[in-house]
Amino acid sequence: MIPSSLLKYTRLRLIILITSVAILLSVLITYIITIILADGFSLITFSSAIIVPLLISPVLTWYIVGLMLQVQKLEQEQRYLASYDMLTKLHTRRTFLELFEEKFDACANDYSCVSFAYIDIDNFKAINSEYGHSGGDEVLKQFGDLLRASIRSVDISGRIGGEEFAIVLPHTSGDSILTVLERLVDNTHASSVQFGSANIQYTISIGYSTYQYGDITNSKQLVNRADQALLLAKNLGKNQVQQYRKNTNSHTS
Ligand SMILES: Nc1nc2c(ncn2[C@@H]2O[C@H](COP(=O)(O)OP(=O)(O)OP(=O)(O)O)[C@@H](O)[C@H]2O)c(=O)[nH]1
């Protein structure tokens, strides 16, 4: 197999390189054979040692490199499919959580803060019932676009489950995180999704928690706190942001 780093070269370069090597080897092997057989190294033998690889090698190299490029493309597509949700183009749950772990560790190591927010589309079952599954899918897709447009390049976003999303905002806490999340809630409320002749209006609820150095010992605690805050936002009437607070009963109704 040709190493994948070699595929960086153009096909033409590879063909020239491999054909030259094939000709050299062919001449060398033919020469050794003629010595062993005590046969003369005639002009015809020498010519055929050059012509045969010259005819075969370019075609074979072209074909093999083509196959390898196809395999490489398929591998890239598979990696993309495993990392990104096809509907929303956001990270899948698994990739998102892996990236979150990395960010959390980095922030813990440099004594900075990181916020984790759970986002859930409100009354999504009712949206599906009224507009059908494809109407619901259109809402998910357009919310994915809105979410991506609302965060910075250093933030991470993902689709965690059906109508559940999450974002990680490094070095963000206090008023700044609240401003970002409240703006997202307001923009979602103000937006609508065009689906056929219908204009679908929907809202979201957000629960978040911020890690400050020494506050908690692992990333799962931060996720659990955001989850509790989301439950609180749902129980307090949806279409709002709630921050995790100690001793806050998430079952308030
Ligand atoms: N269209 C569509 N629906 C989905 C998808 N994944 C999950 N769902 C639906 O999303 C709905 C989620 O409903 P619930 O978890 O009960 O939540 P809800 O109706 O949003 O209620 P609240 O969370 O309390 O506001 C279920 O009916 C699922 O079938 C998807 O990919 N596309």
What is the CATH topology of the domain spanning 93-243? Alpha-Beta Plaits (3.30.70)
Distance separating the N- and C-terminal Cα atoms of the chain? 65
Task: Give the start-to-end residue ranges of the domains of the chain.
Answer: 4-82, 93-243
Catalytic, out of 75, 77, 130, 163: 163
27's CB contacts (< 8 A; 6+ apart) are 46, 49, 50
What sign for the dihedral angle of Cα 209, 214, 219, 225?
A: negative
- Please state the atom number of ligand 1 nearest to the C-alpha of residue 139: 1
Give residues (CB < 6 A) around ligand 1: 120-125, 128, 133, 136-137, 140, 162-163, 234, 238
Q: What is the pLDDT of residue 3?
A: 60
How does the average pLDDT of the chain come out, rounded?
A: 89
Dump pLDDT digits (tens) for 71-80.
988 998 888 8
Q: What is the pLDDT of residue 253?
A: 38
Rounded CA separation 43/54 (Å): 16
ipTM: 0.96
Q: What is the pLDDT of residue 217?
A: 77
Q: What is the pLDDT of residue 8?
A: 60
Query: For residue 141, what are its two tokens?
Result: 């897709």
Å from CA of 144 to ligand 1 middle: 15
What's this model's pTM, rounded to 2 decimal places? 0.77
163 catalytically annotated: yes
Residue type, 240: Q
Rounded CA separation 22/8 (Å): 21
Q: What is the pLDDT of residue 252?
A: 45
DSSP classification of residue 92:
P
Below-70 pLDDT ranges, the chain: 1-9, 41, 247-253
- Please state the atom number of ligand 1 nearest to the C-alpha of residue 134: 1
Å from CA of 122 to ligand 1 middle: 9
